[in-house]
Structure 1
Amino acid sequence: MAWQGRAYRVPHDLMKALVINCTLKKSPEPSNTEALFRTVTEQLEREGVEVDVVRAVDLDIAPGVVSEAVHEGDDWPGVHEKLLAAEILVIASPTWLGQPSSVAKRVLERMEGLMSETDDDGRPVAYNRVAGVVVTGNEDGAHHVISEITGGLQDIGYTIPGQAWTYWNQGPGPGPSFLEGGSGHDWSRSTGRAMAANLLGVARALAARPLGAPPQ
């Protein structure tokens, strides 16, 4: 399926970022994952990036691997539009049993539909877009979650800059969540600001010199 899109050029001051929060908690319940990703988005906003946030669990996102609605009321097409409008994507997920949340896995499954979509120049629509990952959890497993999510995003076509992640885990065994206390918050926040700088730097580089269509 071809997505009829514009040639990829965007002025630096018009960068847009989308965060998909894959918490299991519906709004307005406080989200530890959101508390950490705000470190990233606040840094992006200081640099003039327009940030949009989706809490996926609030939406009806049907199982599937296509961009079109799977059933009446499926909210994924609206998320798909937001993905195409953003040069920067952040997937934010809690850790459960050392795994990404079920919501994060549902989001990645639906994002697979992007792999069959191209712009007017024949490029996969995820080309020239960057992505990163934020992970929270009162158990360990953050590096595994980061690897699983970034691996999927790379398959889809996103560029993953170096150190395009931040995380907070309590450590071995259960313990308090991010908003309840524990240690390591300063490190997680400073790493989040570095993540934002790296995402924006590579997004700007790709906007100036975009990747071409894959050779035939």
Structure 2
Amino acid sequence: MRAVILNCTLKQSPEPSNTQALADVVGQALDEQGVEVRSFRVVDHVVPPGITTDLGDNTDHWPRLHDELLGAEILIVATPTWVGHPSSIAQRVIERMDGMMSETDDEGRPVAYNRVAGVVVTGNEDGAHHVISEVAGALGDIGYTVPGQAWTYWNMGPGPGPSYADTEHGKEWSHKTARSMAHNLHGVAAALQKLPVQAPPGE
């Protein structure tokens, strides 16, 4: 089984990413369950705006990332919170994933069927539950199965404050929730492998 983490931080490599640090806790827990985990920092790739998989532009890196999604049973979208919303990079990813809604597999199913997804959120402001709802809702629309408690987050609470990497505040809870998230994602992905969802009636 394979998992892909799309880190939607605004920070280009090699700048440290708080979002990556928490996503790595989920990734490590999945690795311990025998899942191959691959992580991509989207801002390091050229991903123009659009709502299709292939824009016909050979400088566009999204088709490569799309292939990674199709090679994985588990997707984790990790994003910081900015002014109460997912990052602009996360929104760009969701918009490009919109193209998957019109793609089908060999059995006539939407290509996101029988794949699971979860969300990781960090930020020194509140709004994490709103961000989780926005991203998880979009992933469900695209066709992913979003298990119960397939998310974790860390924030300082209302107002400005230190970032994830700068404090131990709240990390124990965030890490425990991250491990539960990994457990649930793996369990539902394994169940879907044994009993796949079939194409909708009339498809």
**How does the TM-score come out when normalised to structure 1?**
0.92
Q: Which amino acid aligns with 2:72?
A: A
Structure 1 segments, 4+ long, off by >2 Å, are 69-72
Alpha-carbon separation, structure 2, partners of 1:190 and 1:213: 36
Residue of structure 2 aligned with 1:94, choices 69, 77, 80: 80
The aligned counterpart of 2:136 is: 150
The aligned counterpart of 1:172 is: 158
The aligned counterpart of 2:50 is: 64
The aligned counterpart of 2:59 is: 73
* SS of residue in 2 equivalent to 1:27: coil
Q: Aligned Cα RMSD in Å?
A: 0.7
The aligned counterpart of 2:193 is: 207
Alpha-carbon separation, structure 2, partners of 1:37 and 1:54: 11
Alpha-carbon separation, structure 1, partners of 2:20 and 2:130: 20
* SS of residue in 2 equivalent to 1:19: strand
Is 1:130 matched up with 2:81?
no
Is 1:120 matched up with 2:110?
no
Q: For residues 77-124 of structure 1, what are the alpha-carbon distances to aligned partners after superposition, in whole Å with 9 as ceiling and x for unaligned?
A: 000100100000000000000000000000000000000000111100
Distance 1:166 1:145, change over 3 A: same
- How far did 1:72 drift? 3.1
| Identity value in percent | 62
Q: In the alignment, is the contact (CA less than 8 A) between 1:176 and 1:182 conserved in 2?
A: no
Alpha-carbon separation, structure 2, partners of 1:90 and 1:175: 26
- How far did 1:182 drift? 5.0
The aligned counterpart of 1:53 is: 39
Alpha-carbon separation, structure 2, partners of 1:174 and 1:25: 19
* SS of residue in 1 equivalent to 2:118: strand
Is 1:140 matched up with 2:109?
no
- How far did 1:70 drift? 4.6
In structure 1, stretches of 5+ residues that fail to align are: 1-14
* SS of residue in 2 equivalent to 1:91: strand
Q: In the alignment, is the contact (CA less than 8 A) between 1:170 and 1:182 conserved in 2?
A: no
The aligned counterpart of 2:71 is: 85
* SS of residue in 2 equivalent to 1:134: strand
Is 1:190 matched up with 2:145?
no
**How does the TM-score come out when normalised to structure 2?**
0.98
Is 1:26 matched up with 2:9?
no
Q: For residues 34-84 of structure 1, what are the alpha-carbon distances to aligned partners after superposition, in whole Å with 9 as ceiling and x for unaligned?
A: 110111000000111000111000000010000113523010000010010
Q: Which amino acid aligns with 1:141?
A: G
